[in-house]
């Protein structure tokens, strides 16, 4: 066997810590005195053999000591430098997250695609989950196409409001989260081939709250519909007035209702669609002023929330209070419709209250007669 030097062996593989036993075995196998002992002539005297054995023993002890030291102090490759994180911890995604979802109604766990393909309606029990404005466009408008009006309008901060975080920063965060400039989109679209003035709240933008820009765009929606002689279909999903704009947000209630009254004076229909949730200043202004008020299944609709009302009147509210079905029973809405049947329902209503051939010549009145 060729001679192997322990230190040169370690130098060739500095990152491997060799075991003491392996190093000692290597030392013995390469000890020249070991071969001398095995090959020494028989006439060697006992004293000579003892001297040779003693020398070999000293070499073995030295090799073991060297092996122990080497096993402890073998040089290693330096640790790699720690790299700073490339993304924020809040943006980290868990593998497999979002693949399955649990229905809020029946508790069944289903693939997320099953909800998305059914417009967030549970295929097992029909429970309605929240649906974004873009998905509502795809569901109700022909080909999901919308010719948007006044998309450039953005909120400002006239009050320099801060609640621990400046209002301008909250707006920027909401724009990033919702991918929209404000909490509503308006424009011209088509439902079953009929042109309509379309509006839909974006709940992902600060809870669909109504500030100055939202009120202005709703007023422009009614005014644009009046100019172009179009029926209005407005989808509401809002937490009410935006507190960061104070009294300016409350003034939008009067402005939007005034614009709506001018639309009705022109004899044009307004179909109000109440989604989950429709509360606060939106519910207290134009939401219930539609010629036909339609609510989706299971929506929470009202001014104040049930908990606030119970604390105020100090009484227990009846089951299902402020739901779509409760409001239908008490005459507050005209129809409660499944989301999957909403397009057909709206098209049928528009066909009755705004006939295609008479849309420009016989303005609609709430009593069913044309304006004179």
> Residues 168, 157: one domain?
yes
Could you tell me if 105 and 25 lie in one domain? Answer: no
Instruction: Specify whether 46 is located in the same domain as 156.
Output: no
Kindly report, residue by residue over 258-288, the tens digit of the pLDDT. Answer: 999 999 999 999 999 999 999 999 999 999 9
Domain with 169, as residue range(s), is 132-358
Report if residue 80 sits inside a domain.
no
Confidence of residue 81 (pLDDT cuts 50, 70, 90): confident
Contact yes or no for 4/11 (Cβ under 8 A): no
Both 188 and 243 in one domain: the answer is yes
Computed on alpha carbons and rounded to an integer, the radius of gyration of the chain in Å comes to 40
How far is CA 89 from each of CA 86, 94, 95, 179, rounded to the nearest angstrom?
Answer: 9, 11, 15, 21
Residue 254 domain flag: yes
DSSP class per residue in 154-218: ----TT--BSSSBHHHHHHHHHHHHTSSSSEEEEEEEETTEEEEEEEE-TTTGGG-B-HHHHHHH
DSSP β-ladder status, 100-102 and 109-111: antiparallel
> Residue 176: pLDDT above 60?
yes
DSSP line for 113-147: HHHHHTTTB-TTT--B----HHHHHHHHSGGG--E
pTM higher than the cut 0.75:
no
Other C-beta atoms within 10 Å of 332: how many?
Answer: 16
In this structure, the answer to whether residues 122 and 141 fall within a common structural domain is no
Residues 6+ apart with CB under 8 A from 349: 271, 292, 294
DSSP character at residue 112:
H
- At 141-168, the pLDDT tens digits run 999 999 999 999 999 998 999 998 999 9
pLDDT value at position 150?
95
What is residue 82's predicted lDDT score, i.e. its pLDDT?
74
Residues 6+ away with beta carbon under 8 Å from 350: 191, 194, 196, 231, 233, 269, 271
User: Same domain for 184 and 40?
Assistant: no
Q: How many separate domains does the chain show?
A: 3
Q: Are 272 and 236 in contact (CB under 8 A)?
A: yes
pLDDT at 84: 72
Rounded Cα distance between 321 and 218, Å, is: 29
Per-residue pLDDT band at 65 (split at 50, 70, 90): low
Give yes or no: residues 168 and 192 share one domain.
Answer: yes
43 found inside a domain: yes
Asked if 108 and 144 sit in the same domain, the reply is no
Residues 6+ apart with CB under 8 A from 345: 294, 335, 337
Identify the residue with better confidence: 361 or 213. Answer: 213
Which pLDDT band, with edges at 50, 70 and 90, does 372 fall under?
A: very low
Answer yes or no: is 87 within a domain.
no
d(CA 61, CA 23): 12
For helices 20-29 and 46-73, the axis angle rounded to 10 degrees is 140
Same-domain check for residues 107 and 151: no
* Residue count (the chain): 372
Same domain, 193 and 122: no
State which of 73, 89, 114 marks the end of a domain.
73
Under DSSP, the state recorded for 340 is G
Residue 365 covered by a domain? no
Q: Is 21 domain-assigned?
A: yes
Q: Which has the closest alpha carbon to 202: 186, 225, 191, 188?
A: 186
> Does 19 lie in the same domain as 50?
yes
Do 180 and 202 belong together in one domain? yes
Residue with tokens 């290693």: 76
Helix (H) / strand (E) element for 8: namely helix 6-12
Q: Give the separation between CA 59 and CA 108, rounded to whole angstroms.
A: 75
Q: 89-136 pLDDT, tens per residue? A: 556 666 567 789 999 999 999 999 999 999 999 999 999 999 999 999
Q: Of the given ranges (41-50, 174-183, 279-288, 289-298), which has the lowest mean pLDDT?
A: 41-50
Angle at which helix 247-265 crosses helix 212-228, to 10 degrees, equals 10
**Tell me, what CATH number does 161's domain have?**
3.90.226.10
Residue 371 lies in a domain: no
Q: Does residue 264 belong to any structural domain of this protein? A: yes
Q: What are phi and psi of 100, to 5 degrees?
A: -125, 155
Per the prediction, the chain carries an average pLDDT of 82
């Amino acid at each position: 066997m060729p001679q192997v030097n322990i230190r040169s062996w370690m130098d060739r593989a500095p990152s491997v810590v060799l075991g003491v036993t392996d190093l000692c075995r290597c030392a013995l196998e390469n000890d020249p005195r070991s071969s001398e002992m095995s090959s020494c002539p028989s006439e060697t005297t006992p004293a000579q053999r003892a001297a040779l054995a003693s020398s070999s023993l000293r070499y073995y002890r030295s090799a073991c000591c060297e092996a122990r030291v080497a096993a402890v102090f073998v040089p290693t490759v330096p640790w790699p430098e720690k790299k700073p994180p490339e993304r924020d911890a809040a943006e980290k995604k868990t593998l497999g997250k979002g693949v399955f979802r649990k229905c809020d109604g029946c508790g069944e766990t289903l693939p997320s695609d099953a909800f998305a393909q059914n417009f967030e309606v549970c295929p097992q029990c029909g429970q309605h989950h929240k649906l974004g404005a873009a998905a509502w466009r795809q569901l109700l408008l022909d080909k999901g196409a919308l010719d948007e009006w006044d998309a450039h309008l953005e909120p400002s901060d006239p009050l320099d409001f801060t609640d621990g975080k400046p209002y301008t920063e909250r707006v920027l965060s909401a724009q990033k989260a919702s991918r929209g400039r404000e909490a509503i989109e308006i424009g011209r679209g088509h439902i079953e081939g009929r042109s309509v003035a379309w509006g839909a709240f974006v709940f992902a933008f600060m809870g669909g709250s109504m500030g100055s820009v939202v009120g202005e765009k709703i007023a422009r929606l009614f005014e644009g519909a009046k100019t172009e002689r179009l029926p209005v279909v407005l989808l509401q999903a809002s937490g009410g007035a935006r507190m960061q704009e104070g009294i300016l947000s409350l003034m939008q209630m009067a402005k939007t209702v005034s614009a709506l009254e001018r639309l009705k004076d022109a004899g044009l229909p307004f179909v109000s669609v109440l989604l989950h949730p429709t509360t606060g200043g939106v519910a207290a202004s134009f939401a219930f002023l539609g010629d036909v008020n339609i609510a989706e299944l299971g929506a929470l609709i009202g001014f104040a929330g049930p908990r606030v009302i119970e604390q105020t009147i100090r009484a227990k509210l009846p089951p299902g209070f402020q739901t779509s079905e409760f409001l239908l029973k008490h005459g507050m809405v005209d129809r409660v419709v499944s989301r999957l049947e909403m397009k057909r329902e709206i098209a049928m209503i528009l066909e009755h209250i705004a006939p295609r051939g008479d849309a420009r010549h016989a303005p609609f009145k709430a009593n069913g007669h044309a304006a004179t």
